Structures are given as C-alpha cells and as structure tokens.
Chains A and B, each alone.
Chain A
Amino acid sequence: MVSKLLKSLYIAVVYLFLYMPLAVAIVFSFNDASNSNAWSGFTTKWYASLLHDQSLIKSAVRSLFLAASSATVSTVVGTIMAIALHRYRFIGQKVVFGSLSVIMMSPEIIQGISLAMIFIVLGIPLGFTTLLLAHTVFCFPFVTMTVLARLKGVSRTLAEAAADLGANDVSIVRRILIPLIVPAVFAGWLMSFTLSIDDVIISFFVSGKSYEILPLKIYSMVRTGIQPDVNALCAALFFVTFAVVMISYRLVRDRK
C-alpha cells in the first residue's frame, strides 16, 4: 500500500519535472508584463503579435515544408534501403548496416560540420537543397530501422509463398512486402517529420542566410533574451505538437 503510494508519488514528481517548465511558459504567455516574470494581468496580445510577425510565420511555413519534404525523401530512401538490406545479400552489407546505427547515435554537431564541408566541396550553395539533403541523411536511418524491424517480423516464407505461386521479385515487393510494411513506413515518416522540425544543430551548419527556418529563428529569439512572445510561441507549438500526437495516436489505434 505504502510502496504503491510512493511509486505513484515518484512517477508524479518525474512528470512534474518534465511538464512544469512548459506549464510556466504557457501561464506566462498570457502575462501582461513585458519584461518580468511577475504576474501583472491576463492578455492575449503576445499571440496577436506572433500572428503579425511575418518573418516568424514565413520561417514556420518553411520549416513545415522542409520537414514534410525531408520526411518524404527519407521515407523513400529509408524504405528502399530496408528492403534491400532485407532481401539482398551483398558486399559491404555489414558496413551499411553498421553505419545506420552509427548515424543514429552520431552527435548532431559532427553530422552538421561534416555535411557542411561536403556541400562546400561539392559547391552546393547553402539553402533549401542542403537542408533537405542534410535532414534526409539524419532521418533515413530511423525509417530504415523501423521498416527493417517490421520486415523481420514478416516471415521470409511469405515471400517464398508468393514466389511459389508465380510472383517475380517485382510482384513480391509490390503485392506482399509494401502492403505489409505500410504502417512501419508511416511511423517512419512521422518520426522523420518530428526529427526534422525539431533539429537545431545540423540546420545551424547547413542553412544559409537566405533560408531561415523556425528552429534557427527561435534560436536567435531566445538568445536575445526573455520576450513574452517566445512564451506564446512555446505554448502554441506545444499545443500543435500535442494535437499531432493525439491524432496520430488515434489513427494508429483505429487501424488496429
């Protein structure tokens, strides 16, 4: 009884730690004072000022577009790679497989610097293209791993059964493998999207002045000091994320 109470208390404290800063930010996003953490009355003016901040909205749209594009490219690349790793035996397969987990564990700063270097060497100007390529590089291993795990769950005999019934490689992929891995592909896309939209460090190195995306915009905002509209942005982003998580959770549950 007591131990159960203690367990619940412990769980509650950890959640408090995780959520309190967010709660504080949400509360202060409605605070009328412009340069203090003392409460001085309710207002929604910070949200209004967010909506009127053209450059902020522009960078948010860019971020969404970048996240959607890089998630899509990562999903295509990652899925092809997962199928290839699962179906084919080739020289260097172990190296490719090992590299995937190295990329996933690799500190973002090293990926950012090394990608910036290759873009400079290849003469690709920093901007949307480099952001897209870089985001794809750090997202696709997550897709590959998710899809590969699913493929491993699908027994090899299903592909054999299809071949036995007259299917060639192309039909096996189209009729058996792809339909079976669709949920994993969808999950991989969602994961890539969130990784991309949250990335600061890699984007910091590979984005040019011409193409400012939301995390970097936020970065410059928070570095210039406390502004209540950052609180409002924080709250707004939190609610958007929360809604996305809820909807995707519902979708996944309904599928089952």
Chain B
Amino acid sequence: MLKTADNFCRTAVLYFIFIWFGVMVFAPNLLVLLASFLTKEPVWFLRLPLNLQAYRALGDAALLTVILKSVGLAFVTTLFCLLIGYPFTYFIAGFSKETRALFLMLIVVPFWTNSLIRNYALIAVLSEDGLINAFLLHFGLIAEPLKLLNTTFAVFVGMVYTLLPFMILPIYAVLEKIDRSIVEAAADLGAGPFEVFYKIVIPLSFPGIVAGCIMVFLPALTLFYVSDILGGADVNVLGSIIRNKFMIDHDWPVGAAISVALTAFMLVLLHLYYKSGNTVEQERQLW
C-alpha cells in the first residue's frame, strides 16, 4: 500500500519534471534552432525550405563588424569588472563577519533596484550638463563639455555599473570559503603577502573568477536596454541586433542564427567553467 503510494508520488513528480523541461526548456530552444535553418517569409515570418542561408548571412561584413564591436565591448567590460571587483572583494573579505554582511548588502541594494532606472540615473552623470562635465568645467580642466552620452564609452560605463555585482558576488562566495588557516599556513611557511595572494588566494578563487567573468560577459553582449539608454542610435550590442532582426527587420532566420551561435558560445564557456571548477574541487578532496 505505502509502497504504491510512494511509487505514484515518484512517477507523478518525474512526469511533471520531464513535461516541464520538454515544453518550457527544450522545445523553445529547438524552435530557435529550427528557425535558424528556415527561410525568411514576410507574413508568417518563416517558411520551408531548410537551408544555411541565415548562417551565411552571419559572415556579412557589416553584420560581422557590429558583432565584433559588441564582443570587444563585452570583453573590456568584463576586464574592468574583474580589475575593479577582485581587489574590492578581496578587501571586504578581510573584514569581520558582521562588517562583511553589511558591505555585501550595500552591493546588493542597487543590484535589486530596477536596472533600467539605474542606467537612466547615469544620464544625469554623463550628459553634457551632467555631473562629470560640471565637475571638470568647474575646476577648469576642460573648456568645452565633453560628449560622453550616446557614445560607446557611456555604454561601457553603464555595463560596468550594471554588471559589477555579478563579478563581485561569485568571487566573494569563493573567497569567503577559503580556510583562513590555509593562508596562515602559507605565511607560516615563509610566504610574503604578495606570494600568499598570488600562489594561494588567486588559484583557490579561480572558479569564482571564471563564474564572475561568464556572468558579466554574456549580459554585456546582450543587455540591449543599456545601449538603448546610454548609447543612443549609434551603439548596438549583440542583443540589440538580435532584437532588431526579430522585431524590426522581421528576419527571423538570421536572428535565430545569431541566437544559436550565442547559445553555442555560452555552452562552451559553461563547459570550461565546470572543468575549471571540478579540478579545484578534486584537489580539495585530495587534501
């Protein structure tokens, strides 16, 4: 009796999981994959025959230039988030438990505020009569206000501003777990502060660094509202291109093909991440 009730429970739950994943996770992505092989159609958006037209379109010089610019921007964003975020996280990880919790919450507060609003708030800082220009003019460092808004630079600032917490949090999660006695042991064995950092802390926090970089890099490619708000019409990220292909050009196959390429790229990154994470985990188990 009990046995059958338990089995029923198990079967019902597993069916639910398979249906949920099938319909809400796998089917949508397979549709995108399918769309990327179909042909553009003005009314129904898609039609047969299957072909590789959309993927060939990715090689188009104009499109490729925009994509590469977006990748470059994402790369620089990730680099700066790491350069700003890592020392910051390392410093706050050194404080007492209560202080750390407070510092972390202060990171989370703007992170929980509507991201559109936060980027909008940057306009008042970057615009020609904004805070930075006012500051520079006031101290006579410049004669004319700089054009900061509606440039790639503004999008870069917006991206770093939006994504910095995504770099800080995973690194913090790893740094916090590092056993203090390991650091002390290294110091005890004669390592100086720099060597401790370089030979112990960095390698142990590597999975956090990789996770942070992935969590910054992918959104930096795709957060089209940041470039909409701060970059104006001139700056497009990969996300804006995909959106435009679907919503404006109604070229679903090319939009889908870019999405598929992005997904494939993400899967490669995740694969690398789990490989890096696992090696460190295994080494930990060996101890």
A241 within 8 A of B: yes
- Residue contact B13 to A88, C-beta cutoff 8 Å: yes
Asked whether B25 lies within 8 Å of A137 as measured between CB atoms, the reply is yes
Q: Is the CB of A200 within 8 A of B121?
A: no
CA distance A17 to B9 in the complex (A): 52
Name which residue of chain A comes closest to B211, CB basis: A105
In the complex, chain A residues whose CB is within 8 Å of the CB of B122: 21
Give B17-39 as 1s and 0s: 1 = Cβ < 8 Å from A's Cβ atoms.
11011011111110110010000
- Of B50-58, B220-228, B278-286, the stretch lying at the interface with chain A is B220-228
Contact sample, A vs B, 25 pairs, CB 8 Å cutoff? A7-B91, A7-B94, A10-B91, A11-B92, A14-B164, A18-B107, A22-B118, A80-B16, A81-B20, A84-B13, A96-B17, A99-B25, A109-B243, A111-B28, A118-B27, A118-B28, A168-B5, A169-B10, A170-B5, A170-B9, A194-B112, A222-B229, A242-B109, A245-B108, A249-B105
Q: Contact between A168 and B125 (Cβ–Cβ < 8 Å)?
A: no
Asked if A159 is an interface residue, CB under 8 A from chain B, the answer is: no
For window 63-107 of A, CB contacts with B under 8 Å fall at: 77, 80-81, 83-84, 88, 90, 92, 96, 99, 101-103, 105-107
Q: Count residues of A near B (Cβ-Cβ below 8 Å).
A: 74
Q: How far, in Å, is B133 (CB) from chain A's closest CB?
A: 10
CB pair B9–A20 under 8 Å, yes or no, is: no
Give the dominant DSSP class at A's interface.
helix
Considering the complex, give the chain B residue whose CB is closest to the CB of A172. B6
Residue of B nearest to A223 (CB): B228
Is A113 a contact of B106 with CB atoms below 8 Å?
no
Q: Is B63 an interface residue (CB 8 A)?
A: no
Which residues of the partner chain A approach B17 to less than 8 Å between Cβ atoms? 80-81, 84, 96
Chain B residues, Cβ within 8 Å of A92: 18
Closest chain B residue to A249 by CB distance? B105
Chain A residues with CB below 8 A from B130, complex form:
37
CB < 8 Å neighbour of A106 from B123, B124, B266: B266
Q: Is the CB of A101 within 8 A of B270?
A: yes
Q: Is the CB of A241 within 8 A of B24?
A: no
CB A250 to nearest CB in B, in angstroms, measures 11
> Which among B16, B108, B239 is the interface contact of A201 at CB below 8 angstroms?
B239
CB-CB under 8 A from B103, the residues of chain A are 11
Q: Given A22-B121, A200-B225, A233-B117, A114 and B131 touching (CB < 8 A)?
A: no
Residues on the B chain within 8 Å of A169, using CB: 2, 5-6, 9-10
**How many Å from the CB of B249 to the closest CB on chain A?**
14
Smallest Cβ-Cβ distance to A28: which chain B residue: B124
| Contact code string A106-123 (vs B, CB < 8 Å = 1, else 0) | 111111011101100100
B272 at the interface (CB under 8 A from A): no
A109-162 contacts to B (CB < 8 Å): 109-111, 113-115, 117-118, 121, 133, 136-137
Cβ distance A155 to chain B, nearest Cβ, rounded Å: 18
Contact A22 B113 (CB under 8 A): yes
Residue of A nearest to B260 (CB): A110
Decide if B202 is an interface residue (CB 8 Å cutoff): no
Q: Give chain A nearest CB distance to B14 CB in angstroms.
A: 6
A25 at the interface (CB under 8 A from B): yes
Closest chain-A Cβ to B202's Cβ sits at a distance in Å of: 18
Any B CB within 8 A of the CB of A219:
yes
Q: Are B266 and A219 in contact (CB under 8 A)?
A: no
User: Are B114 and A21 in contact, CB atoms less than 8 angstroms apart?
Assistant: no
B119 neighbours in A (Cβ, 8 Å)? 222
- Beyond contacts A25-B124, A81-B20, A222-B120: 15 other A-B pairs, Cβ-Cβ < 8 A, are A18-B106, A28-B124, A99-B21, A99-B25, A105-B215, A107-B266, A110-B262, A110-B263, A170-B6, A198-B115, A200-B116, A214-B114, A218-B116, A219-B116, A234-B117
CB-CB under 8 A for A234 and B121, given A84-B14, A96-B17, A117-B31: yes
A102-B270, A113-B32 as given contacts; A11 in contact with B21, CB under 8 Å: no
Q: Which residues of A contact B218 (CB under 8 A)?
A: 105-107
CB neighbours of B146 from chain A (8 A): none
Known: A105-B266, A117-B28. A237 touches B114 (CB 8 A): yes
